[in-house]
Structure 1
Amino acid sequence: MSGWWAWGAVAALYGYGFFQRVAPSVLVDELRTSLLVGTAAVGGLSALFYVSMALAQVPAGTLLDRFGARRVLTAGSVLAALGSVAFAAAPNMSAASAGRILLGLAASVGFLGCMVVATRVLPPHRFGLAIGLAASIGMLGAMVGQAPLRLAVDALGWREAMAAVTLVPLLLAIACLMLIPRNRSSQEVQADSPAASGERLDLRSMLKRRSIWVCGIVSATLVLPVNVYAGLWAVPFLQEVRNFPASLAALAASCMLIGFGIGSPTAGWLATRTGRPRALLVGAFAVMYCIFVMLVYGPPLSRSFVYLLMVIAGAASGAMVLGFGLASRGVPEDRRGLAFGMANLVVLGFSALGQQASGYVLEVVAHQDLMGPHGTYGSALLLVVGAGVVGLVLTRLLPSTG
């Protein structure tokens, strides 16, 4: 049971990272007024979190392997507190940017830490469930960073509300220091894994492992509709193409996120029970992309049916967590942090590129009726469908059992 407590502290840090990731979306007006900047600058400020987090994935994984989860996650929690204070107290755009960069760097160890700690303090058959639960906690953090944060901002002011949450990472730093066991030495790891002890464990050899990159691409393309459609274009698409009111369009987008939070631990549990993660991933691709094509290119559907389909699609995309388990197969324990970082770098990179590329297509083909009644959104979201086909094909390279 103590292992779950240690893992829970890290999962809470991951949830806090998600909270900070989405927080600017409800602070747009306050940030423009306080920092004297425009909307584009606020968007850039928000993006700094993603950029710093993505660039830090491989270094973060290496640090987790080299210094151990206890030290790195404690330091990451302290860094999150510093970033929170810097952002809340920022007198200008430069200081706010520094705070967002610190928060992104701190968040880079959250999900990786969940996976590393799970492999070291939990039974192997609980890994899939643990990672699925971590994804759900991340979604919960994102939900707290929306309506509840808005209520706190209205009651206290944005600086006061953001400063108050600094207490969370400080408490998590203490929890990580007390609950996470010390890292085992490399000699102990190699003694337990004699087959791996003769293998080169340097960064270059790890970067050449094709299987890790394939797992990352499979996970990235399965969750791409969530990150690109639900995370960016679902609301305007449903408003402009399906005539949804703004509030109901936002509810529909949230349904896909809720489904993801449900599907992630369910996929982990099913993979443990069946021992067939590849079959589950293939089924998840089929469900996700059939529904996605129906929602974007199909005839108008009732709003209640759209909500249901969004939940089911989100649940199917939750199976992306299985790719991380497969990415660590055959990797020595003292290199799993790096393996997870490599796979997560692909997921984050695909999300960023997907949003950027779809936005570019929308701008280029604006006012051109290339997809009939579906307008320019249909053209832009074809990129997501194409990526899904690539991901489905690559599942053939994954091991059939695990």
Structure 2
Amino acid sequence: MAARVFFLFTLGYFLSYFFRSANAVLSKDLSMDLGLSPAQLGFMTSLFYLAFALTQLPLGGLLDRLGPRRVTPLFLTVAALGSLVFGLAPGFAVLALGRALIGVGMASALMGAMKAFSLWFPRTYATMSTLLVGLGATGGLLAATPLALLKESVGWRGVFLGAALLVLLVALALYLGVRDAPPGTALPRASREEGSAWRHPALLRVGALAFSFAGGFLALQTLWAGAYPYALGYGAVQVGNLLLLYSLSAVFGFLVSGYLADRFGTARVLLLSGALFALGLALLLMKALGAAYLVLGFFGAFNILTLTQARELVPPHLTGRATTLVNLMGIGGTFLLQWGIGVVVGSLGYPAAFLGLLALQLLALLLYRPLLRPPRTGQGRA
């Protein structure tokens, strides 16, 4: 049963990563077929993240009260509906609705897995959860050349109609094939007085680090790590190679981060990796792009440990709310930092933008540093 839990939740996250990445390959087809302007294309694509972020807090409460076995399949069904709406969309408005529904539904893929893993793999939680993320992130590879070949055969609409059926099958498999917790272990329940993750102020320190660390990592990976070398005069193939280095380094970072956290302690590994991510930002300022992208990708992936840290700071009945709160800060950081970097670049240039990102990361690490004290599970620390 434990292996089935891991496989099915990992498959759900794989599909989530595929959907978030798919529009990069399909953007030309969507624009031509539906007459989308660049602004409409960008707004529609960003709705995945906006819907994903807005869903986090209510999702956490549902996971804690009802369990991941019921909640995750329900949300995946919403994602399947969104994929169906997207595939049948006659124009921009319906397309945007479908994209938003996919974001709402896929918000449960990672968080449901984190809740389930906290119950099924309590002693190796960091290792198993980051292994999930590393393997799931390969969904982005499926949304590259394989997707380009597939849409030539069935069209972009056929891709989303087929994906809707696949997501629905995974939802059904999760509902029928997994349990919330191992046999003999009850799903932890919170009393009304204990039901708020906000009562644990240490989570705000973790959230601040997630804002700069996860937000900075994703803001670079999904936009500025490509735009910057273009601005320096690099050609398309060179830029593609740099982005591949960033992404492959991130996959390896995801895969080893959990093992290191279990071996040496989450707070220690998170602080060190955050500092090395700051080093990568300094390398960007020095225009040493090869070394910078290797460091930023590999150590930036360790940002996933902010979710592990959130789980360690609260009792079991609050893990859903704690992890979704911290994830909200990371996704919010992605929105704001991606936009903010653009504003600074437009007025002051790339060096000022990267210097600001470096300063923010160092400030977040300073705020996080008190959590190096040995954790007391279930008690928040200021």
TM-score when scaled to structure 2?
Answer: 0.91
185, 195, 200: which one aligns with 2:193: 200
Relative to structure 1, is the Cα distance of residues 273 and 183 closer, same or farther in structure 2, using a 3 angstrom cutoff?
Answer: closer
Aligned to 1:36: 35
Aligned to 2:300: 317
User: Match for 2:368: what amino acid?
Assistant: T
Aligned to 2:378: none
Aligned to 1:384: 357
> Identity of paired residues, percent?
24
Aligned to 1:146: 144
- SS for the counterpart of 2:89 is coil
Structure 1 residue 285: Cα displacement: 2.0
Unaligned runs of 5+ in 1: 192-196, 366-375
Structure 1 residue 232: Cα displacement: 0.8
d(CA) in 1 for partners of 2:204, 2:164: 35
Aligned to 1:394: 367
231, 234, 242: which one aligns with 1:252: 242
Structure 1 residue 113: Cα displacement: 0.9
Q: Is the 8 A contact 2:274 2:303 kept in 1?
A: no
Aligned to 2:275: 286
Structure 1 residue 69: Cα displacement: 0.7
Q: Is the 8 A contact 1:132 1:318 kept in 2?
A: no
Aligned to 1:347: 330
User: Match for 1:160: what amino acid?
Assistant: G
Q: Is the 8 A contact 2:27 2:41 kept in 1?
A: yes
Aligned 1:329-340 pairs, distance under 5 A = 329-340=312-323
Aligned 1:107-186 pairs, distance under 5 A = 107-122=106-121, 124-182=122-180
215, 223, 237: which one aligns with 2:228: 237
User: Structure 1 residues 175-184 or 315-324, which shifts more?
Assistant: 175-184
d(CA) in 2 for partners of 1:395, 1:4: 34
- SS for the counterpart of 1:165 is helix
**Runs of 4+ more than 4 Å apart:** 187-191
Aligned to 2:286: 298
User: Match for 1:254: what amino acid?
Assistant: L
User: Match for 1:70: what amino acid?
Assistant: R
Count residues with an aligned counterpart: 373
Q: Is the 8 A contact 1:69 1:183 kept in 2?
A: no
Aligned to 2:380: none
Aligned to 1:263: 253
Relative to structure 1, is the Cα distance of residues 268 and 390 closer, same or farther in structure 2, using a 3 angstrom cutoff?
Answer: same
Unaligned runs of 5+ in 2: 376-382
Q: Is the 8 A contact 2:216 2:333 kept in 1?
A: no
Write the deviation string for residues 201-257 of structure 1: whole angstroms up to 9, x where unpaired.
234xx224221121122233223442122221122211221x321122122123222
Question: 2:35 matched to 1:45?
Answer: no
TM-score when scaled to structure 1?
Answer: 0.87
Aligned 1:5-20 pairs, distance under 5 A = 5-20=4-19
User: Match for 1:43: what amino acid?
Assistant: G
